[in-house]
Amino acid sequence: MAACVLLYWPNVVDYFRMFLVFAAWCFRDAPAVFILLYLAFVLLDDVDGWLARRLGQTSRFGAWLDVVVDNVGRGMLWSLLFEWGWLVSSLEWCVFVCNHSRGAEEWKNSFNRSPRLIQAIMADGGSTRVSASSY
């Protein structure tokens, strides 16, 4: 019998990451604590992906949850750093909503008709660093 997707270990890590974001928010006036909590949040992003592949616990829900947790964490950081940070966060959420319908992995490979700059940014699933010569 398959385990409940909600209790997959990578998803449990993401729930903990969400807790770390809210804890960091509570300590936004204590920079040292904030940085430690946010750093743990960032480092655990790699752990959930590694666990998903290692344990074979990949799922559409997990892919969705990972992006939601990432967006919440970055949105909080943008909002703390800049008065207009909400705008950048809103743009990230719009991109997420628009791309989510393409599937967990397919959206990263569907930029062949996009402008050259976007193709350069999304080369290798978005993990490529872009230089001026890339486009």
- Please state the three-class secondary structure of 91-129 as a single string: HHHHHHHHHHCCCCCHHHHCCCCCCHHHHHHHHHHHCCC
Residue 132 — very low, low, confident or very high, per pLDDT cuts 50/70/90?
very low
Q: What number of CA atoms fall less than 13 Å from residue 102's CA on the CB side?
A: 12
Q: Which two tokens stand for residue 25?
A: 């928010």
pTM for this prediction: 0.73
Q: How far is CA 30 from the centre of its chain?
A: 24
C-beta atoms surrounding 26 within 10 Å: 11
pLDDT in tens, 52-104: 999 999 988 998 899 899 999 999 999 998 888 888 888 888 877 777 766 65
Q: Which two tokens stand for residue 2?
A: 């398959």
Q: What average pLDDT does this structure show over 96-124?
A: 68
Percent of the chain with pLDDT over 70: 79
Radius of gyration for the alpha carbons in the chain, expressed in angstroms and rounded: 17
pLDDT over 50 (residue 44):
yes
pLDDT computed for residue 11 by the predictor: 96
Q: Which of 60, 59, 20 is nearest to 42 (CA)?
A: 20
Q: What average pLDDT does this structure show over 15-23?
A: 97
Domain ranges of the chain: 7-102, 105-135
| Angle between helix 9-26 and 60-81 (nearest 10) | 10
pLDDT over 50 (residue 19):
yes
pLDDT computed for residue 97 by the predictor: 76
Q: Which two tokens stand for residue 9?
A: 């270990």
